[in-house]
Amino acid sequence: MRTIKPYIVIGVALLLLALEIAAVQLRSGGVAGRGVGSPVGASEVSLTPSPAPPVQGTVSPPRGYMPPWKSDTDLTTMRPTGVPAIKPTIPGAGPTTPAFTVADVTAYHTTYHTVADISGYYGVGDYASSVLPRIVKVEFLTEKALRARIPDSTGLPDDTLLCYVQYSGSFVLVPPPGVQRPVSIWPYAIEVFDAHTGNRMIAGLAPTLR
Amino acid sequence: VLLHLLVMRGFSRSVDWVRAAIAVALLSALIPLNLISPLSADAAPPLPGAPASTYNCPPPGPHCYGQIAWLGTTYGTSSSIYIQPLTCGNCTTSNHYHLNVETWLIDNNSGGYIEVGYGARDAQNGAEWYFWSNTPPGQGQTRNDVGPIPPGDYFASSGFKMTRNRQDANHVQVQEWSANYRFTVVATNNMGGGYGGPNAYTGTEINIGSELVGVNNGGNEFQSTNGNADWTNNQWQEHAGTYHYQTSDGIRRIDGPEYQGDWAIPPHSSSTGGDLYVSCGC
């Protein structure tokens, strides 16, 4: 049998190692330059980023895109979408009929609002409650009708069909530091959903049944 | 060493091919075991002074904050905030935990305040989105979940502004704008106008920073996956349409173990309102 030259074997081994290293780098998300705040392309980022280990630092990240100054009179706005909450169950619902039912609202409530955390608190829409929240009102109404009920709007057109839900409980409002306002307890929490997407548009606290 | 022995002894027999293959396989196996590292230069430890990886900010409160505050009457505020990925690993609605990166416009005469920023909180299972929140004097609160942050907005800055409405002191105009998203809303809030008439200012205090509610159970309830939140172009509004960059370093409220932060560039030595970073050890 013919003898194989040692340098050929070494070359092949090194080539295989280089390929392995490249594969490891690809699996780990890249090479140096993706440290704290390094800008990446838009196509490389998802809405649900993978839980990479936190990198704590004492430096400010690179700026990346800086938005140009926007005048107070520039009222450009895009349609708000809210965040996913209730899953629609009625396909093909028209503009004046909801894509989910009161039973779907109740199921959402049971799943997300009736389990206490390790501190013993329940929660609706980010507001902790020391007692079990209960649904006291579910109403499908338009954006225009909603504005007559609460101070702010969803930002959607007047004829948009929404779902207004009010909960009883003992909800806590904690003001940020510096605000001359004590921690307060509220008897009601509200959530407003887009009646077609099921997305939550508003969460809040209320003093009375509305 | 294996390669050396094999190579020095020559490859005159077929069994040596097998030995060579075993040697290469052994070396390759060391890489995923981290016994050798192709990226050893990137394996730097966290910088000294980084906050602990656990946190304890249980509901209902007090919440944990890493903030800078400026006191003084103002018509409004504007800042650019760097958008970071936040995750909410074990978060559910019932846990009502949240991590926000934002600005606050506060009126301490009336107790009203308005917030705008981005965050991760209940129900979205790790997604994060833009929000604004309105707390009128003596009333409850409404928070608008505007929408998920577009992928192109990450690792870049978005503008956030709150200003007294030009026509009506009882309303505050809230704006967000970035490369891929922008919204403008008018919030009904009597701060300013409720006690001083149409010429009254809107706020008495501006805060920029991060807010955390949650308890680390050993899971990944929240992570700021890239470390620092960052505020630049920090401005206050003197009159309608007239903005000034902050020149004071403000009041530091970064005192809990959950947060670390400081001015990377303090406003007093900056022509653009300084550069604040805040790091959440969560």
Q: Is the pLDDT of residue A113 over 50?
A: yes
In this predicted structure, what is the pLDDT of residue A65?
A: 84
pLDDT for A143-171, tens place per residue? Answer: 999 999 988 889 999 999 999 999 999 99
For B277, the closest chain A residue by CA position comes to A60
Which amino acid is located at B237 in the chain?
Q
A116, A173, A205 member nearest B94 (Cβ): A116
Q: What is the ipTM of this complex?
A: 0.77
By mean pLDDT, which of A83-87, A91-95, B16-20, B142-146 is the weakest? B16-20
CB contact under 8 A, A55 and B188: no
Element (H, E) at B195: helix B193-196
CB contact under 8 A, B20 and A13: yes
% of chain B with per-residue pLDDT over 70: 66
- Please list, in sequence order, all residues whose beta carbon lies within 8 angstroms of the beta carbon of residue A61, skipping any fewer than 6 positions away: A36, A37, A38, B82, B84, B155, B226, B227, B228, B230, B277
Among candidates B210, B231, B233, B244, which has minimal Cα distance to B73?
B244
In this predicted structure, what is the pLDDT of residue B11?
A: 45
Decide if A21 touches B, using CB distance below 8 A: yes
In this predicted structure, what is the pLDDT of residue B58?
A: 82
pLDDT for B185-199, tens place per residue? Answer: 888 877 765 545 555
Decide if A70 touches B, using CB distance below 8 A: yes
B12, B181, B187 member nearest A152 (Cβ): B187
pLDDT for B215-249, tens place per residue? Answer: 776 555 566 655 678 999 999 999 888 999 999 99
A46, A130, A151 member nearest B142 (Cβ): A151
Q: List all residues of chain B from 230 to 269 with a beta carbon under 8 Å from chain A.
A: 230, 232-233, 240-241, 253, 260, 262, 264-265
Residue B157 β-bridge partners? B82
- Residue A125: pLDDT band (50, 70, 90) is confident
- Between CA B88 and CA B77 the distance in angstroms is 29
Cα end-to-end span (Å), chain A: 93
- Between CA A10 and CA B23 the distance in angstroms is 11
The mean pLDDT of A35-54, rounded to a whole number, is 27
* Residues of chain A positioned with their CB less than 8 A from the CB of B64: none
In this predicted structure, what is the pLDDT of residue A57?
A: 45
Decide if B170 touches A, using CB distance below 8 A: no
Rounded to a whole number of angstroms, the distance from the CA of B38 to the nearest CA of chain A is 6
Q: Is the pTM of this model over 0.80?
A: no
Which amino acid is located at A19 in the chain?
L
In this predicted structure, what is the pLDDT of residue B89?
A: 58
CB contact under 8 A, A60 and B63: no
With beta carbons less than 8 A apart as the criterion, state whether A167 and A134 touch. yes
